[in-house]
Amino acid sequence: MFKGSIVAMVTPFHDGRVDEKKLKDLVDFQIKNGTSGIVPCGTTGESATLSFEEHERVIEVTIEQSRKRAPVIAGTGSNSTEEAVTLTKQAARAGADASLQVSPYYNRPTQKGLYEHFKAIADSVKIPIILYNIAGRTGVNIEPETIAKLASNCKNIVAVKEASGNLDQMSRIKALCPPSFHLISGDDSLTLPVLSIGGTGVISVAANIVPADTADLVNSFMEGDIKEAQRIHYKLLPLIKALFIETNPIPVKTAMGLLGMCAPDLRLPMSSMSPENLEKLKKALVDYGLLK
């Protein structure tokens, strides 16, 4: 469940509402192209602007459409512990295979507060929990010692999505946590380096548009074909750079609109790309062979 290329899937909108038909199409597209797991309602899914009803429905539709062909790891984190517990319980009842828990944003809790927050969520459900460490967006870093304590004391906290960009920190996590604890890259550009220090996969933004290549990179590395993994890594890099030229998920959603995969609709405060960055994104898509 926590290996390979796992997509951090966008939430498609149409006329201001969640486009459930397109959501189902995207789930099928991912599974057809070798994606190992699906994360609805993460950062890329614009979870912060979904209502509670929409959040619950997106997870339900994803689970229903996946039909156990790929595990669904529901994004159910919050900066309110009570809210995160409620969302996680709902996802568990709906049949989610696991939950992704972002560190509480804006509050800036201490390491003790982080530990108690995640432990309370883990204690409330039986499904596996993946921690999500992305200090650049939350304002707080989950220290390796805190992750190790959670991994030791909470049997269902089994992995971390590491998006700190700090390979030294990720190495410390691997050194401190039990061997069974999974380190998952949270940055597409660092997938190969993270695999090299013992990571098991990536929760990917790029997989929204190039799922087969993202899966092939991880699979090639795991099968021992390092040169092929390196080839795909360097092929992907210019595209990945373009997908983060503005705040995620603005570029990837725009790219999906250009490719006819879904409407490029975003919810404020996410806005359309600047003209100059849009041209850079288009060039990256053309150079990759995705757009003529």
Catalytic machinery residues: 132, 161
Angle between helices 250-258 and 226-243 (to 10 degrees): 100
Do 183 and 159 meet the contact criterion of CB atoms below 8 Å apart? yes
Give the three-state DSSP class for 133: strand
Q: Rounded to whole angstroms, how far apart are CA atoms 41 and 172?
A: 29
Cis peptide leading into 269, omega within 30 of 0?
A: yes
**How is the chain split among helix, strand and coil, in percent rounded to 5?**
50, 15, 35
Q: Rounded to whole angstroms, how far apart are CA atoms 13 and 88?
A: 23
Helix (H) or strand (E) holding 202: strand 201-204
* CA atoms within 13 A of residue 48's CA, in its CB half-sphere: 16
Q: How many CB atoms lie within 10 A of CB 276?
A: 8
Torsion of CA 226, 228, 182, 247, to 10 degrees: 130
Q: Rounded to whole angstroms, how far apart are CA atoms 25 and 118?
A: 33
Give the three-state DSSP class for 272: coil
Close Cβ partners of 251 (under 8 Å, ≥ 6 residues apart) = 242, 243, 244, 245, 273, 277, 281
Close Cβ partners of 175 (under 8 Å, ≥ 6 residues apart) = 144
